[in-house]
Amino acid sequence: MKDIYENPLCGRYAGKEMQHLFSQDVKFSTWRKLWIALAESEKELGLDISDEQIDEMRFNIHNINYEAAEKYEKELRHDVMAHIHAYGDLCPSARGIIHLGATSCFVGDNTDIIIMDKALTIVKRKLAAVIKELADFAMEYKDMPTLGFTHYQPAQTVTVGKRATLWIQDLYMDIQDLDYLQKGIMLRGTKGTTGTQASFLELFDGDHEKVKRLDALVCNKMGYSRSFPVTGQTYPRKLDARVLNVLSGIAQSAWKFSNDIRLLQNLQEIEEPFGEKQIGSSAMAYKRNPMRSERISSLARYVITISLNPAITASVQWFERTLDDSANKRISVPEAFLATDGILDIYRNIASNMVVYPKIIEKNLMNKLPFMVTENVLMEAVKKGGDRQDLHERIRIHSMEASRSIKEQGKDNDLLERIAADPAFSLSRSELCKLTDPKLFTGRSAAQTEEYIKNEIYPYINNIDSNVVNEDLEV
């Protein structure tokens, strides 16, 4: 349909797997799986529920009668009750035991947790794939000297690979945060209307052990080993805040990377991929705009800002529950995941296809390096009998003149030529070239890169069941 609004996160950015996970089919089929788990557990604990009733429910898990549910919701103004009635229409023998003892949050909250958990697994898989691409890139260019920057002003030389480790380390911190969060995820379980389990205690005639066992059984049937020890009507909304904080962290890391690529593309040192028939501008045909990096920046800004929503929601929950979380979390949680999914697809596309221009990198470096090596030149000239104070002043004067020539006349940096021509230094041009080999000024850049990637990143990535699609991602 083209006559109503379509969310661009689905139409342009997020992958099909993430979109499907937040679909109505997944949501309502999970509701039905929870109702089945509840009925099975109640039967195992002695309630009068038959195998035939459960089989009937299981047969109709994916047979979701949306029209009936929509009709019921118009009448009842309650989405969970609407789907209970719709499910009951398909399962007439089980109608009376569906949702027995439960509150709406039994299906709503447990489903939300399950979907977020699965979504985090997708994010982790894609995050690991990006880290792997960057790690391979870092290893390939670990020795290539490049001009370092602080305050976006020329600084001490690094290597292209060493710079990439900064991008990797940000993402590695993010994936560690994700691991920690995901290991602690638990369901809401069967806690009843206000978290007291009173309805289940009534069903089991005051048997506390059976009520506790019910909670454990349902969680186990849904693939979880535990539930929150205590809840109100909902699971703690701080979970949503923690989840979106992790997504915000990923967005922050991706935004930093995308800004670096945009700056590097302006310097013509490294570019994001550019399609053979890609158009950079409708007016300026020569343009090669960094549109992928700009898209990351745009989506990352959205994820970072939307992460404030669950933080505010968690802050204003009244006592056991208030419903002003509902509409907000229906939007903020899925959209944060969808946007993050899009970010990681674009990030991987760039990381796996970055174009490096070694000659430009060398040219830019050598245009600044002479100024940075003057202390080494001074020391070498003193070894040859020069006066340190006199030579320092001569270097200052030559540096000012070379700088003026660059800025006012647009010439290349000729500082070394000026020093070679000054007999006070007693240094030939070849001797100066040896002193200004860029690799002499990168410190432990190459070693740090290799140690970090081989000792930390590759072992971690190799331990992940990546299940990553290997073909190039079209963005």
The beta-strand segments (E) located in 48-188 are: 145-150, 153-159
Point out the catalytic residue in the list 50, 281, 315, 326: 281
Q: Which two tokens stand for residue 230?
A: 């205590």
Point out the catalytic residue in the list 151, 225, 282, 430: 151
Taking the C-alpha atoms of residue 427 and residue 432, their distance in angstroms, rounded to an integer, is: 7
Rounded to 10°, the helix 388-409/374-383 angle is 140
Q: Which two tokens stand for residue 279?
A: 């158009």
Taking the C-alpha atoms of residue 158 and residue 441, their distance in angstroms, rounded to an integer, is: 8
CA angle 468, 474, 475 (to 5 degrees): 110
Q: Which two tokens stand for residue 367?
A: 């245009």
Quick check: is 281 catalytic?
A: yes
Which helix H or strand E contains 421, and what residues bound it?
A: helix 415-421
Q: Which one-letter DSSP state was computed for residue 453?
A: I
Taking the C-alpha atoms of residue 420 and residue 213, their distance in angstroms, rounded to an integer, is: 86
Taking the C-alpha atoms of residue 140 and residue 308, their distance in angstroms, rounded to an integer, is: 39
The 10 Å CB-count burial string (b at 16+, else e) for 36-56 is: bbbbbbbbebebebeeebbeb
Quick check: is 151 catalytic?
A: yes
CA angle 124, 22, 178 (to 5 degrees): 20
Report whether 330 contacts 292 (CB < 8 A). Answer: no
Taking the C-alpha atoms of residue 249 and residue 428, their distance in angstroms, rounded to an integer, is: 52
The 10 Å CB-count burial string (b at 16+, else e) for 234-257 is: bbebebbbbbbebbbbbbbbbbbb
Q: What are phi and psi of 231, to 5 degrees?
A: -145, 165
In angstroms, the first-to-last Cα distance of the chain is: 23
> Active-site residue numbers?
151, 281
